[in-house]
Chains A and B, each alone.
Chain A
Amino acid sequence: EVQLVESGGGLVKPGGSLRLSCAASGFTFSSYSMNWVRQAPGKGLEWVSSISSSSSYIYYADSVKGRFTISRDNAKNSLYLQMNSLRAEDTAVYYCAKAEGWIDPWGQGTLVTVSS
């Protein structure tokens, strides 16, 4: 069974940093691109970033470019999102998800709250 488990969310002050992690199991992690997608409270889905299987190709939404960094460790079956210079508008549930163009499956999400 494919499982994606996010961790690392929490409360952080504006301008602060946070690192999200996603532990993957049940599939050959090193063969797939991975995504981070977020959802602000009561709002729709927003794609954040994608990374190819070997980390050769990385993409970011304009809203996070220059502040967030996606990375992966295929030996540890893990995906990461380093978030710096956080803003109130970054408050959201962050989902880790396997990518084949379409996004499936999704983790359960981790809540990031940016507030003073």
Chain B
Amino acid sequence: DIQMTQSPSTLSASVGDRVTITCRASQSISSWLAWYQQKPGKAPKLLIYKASSLESGVPSRFSGSGSGTEFTLTISSLQPDDFATYYCQQYNSYPITFGQGTRLEIK
């Protein structure tokens, strides 16, 4: 199974900050990676697919990069609505696996 490891687990930041979340795969997954945002009590929302493709309707301050085993999600200028938990997911092979999540909290 492919293990996905996110860092950090918790990130404290302020409105307007640029933040980066990293996701590492235990083996190469090419660009078969997605990023999700989840708020308490809500279903996850797709932000990025194929490592760097922005989902329709997602603000352009979100961007993804990477390939192989190392990936990043960057938020260029944090907005109040962005404080949430973020997950990466690989879909290179079954079983599909998720990172453990990164909680983005207000500093």
Quick check: B91 and A46 within 8 Å, CB to CB?
no
Inter-chain contacts of B43 with A (CB < 8 A):
95, 105-109
What separation, in Å, do the CA atoms of A105 and B32 have in the docked complex?
17
Interface of B is mostly: loop
What separation, in Å, do the CA atoms of A100 and B49 have in the docked complex?
10
Inter-chain contacts of A103 with B (CB < 8 A):
34, 36, 44, 46, 89, 96
What separation, in Å, do the CA atoms of A103 and B97 have in the docked complex?
12
Inter-chain contacts of B38 with A (CB < 8 A):
45
- B80 contacts A by Cβ under 8 Å: no
Q: How many residues of B contact A (CB 8 A)?
A: 22
Minimum Cβ distance to chain A for residue B32 (Å): 6
- A44 contacts B by Cβ under 8 Å: yes
Minimum Cβ distance to chain B for residue A108 (Å): 6
6 A-B pairs in the complex with CB atoms less than 8 angstroms apart: A44-B98, A59-B94, A95-B44, A101-B32, A101-B91, A103-B96
Chain B interface residues (CB < 8 Å from chain A): 32, 34, 36, 38, 43-46, 49-50, 55, 87, 89, 91, 94-101
6 smallest beta-carbon distances between A and B, as pairs:
A102-B34, A106-B43, A104-B46, A101-B91, A102-B49, A47-B96
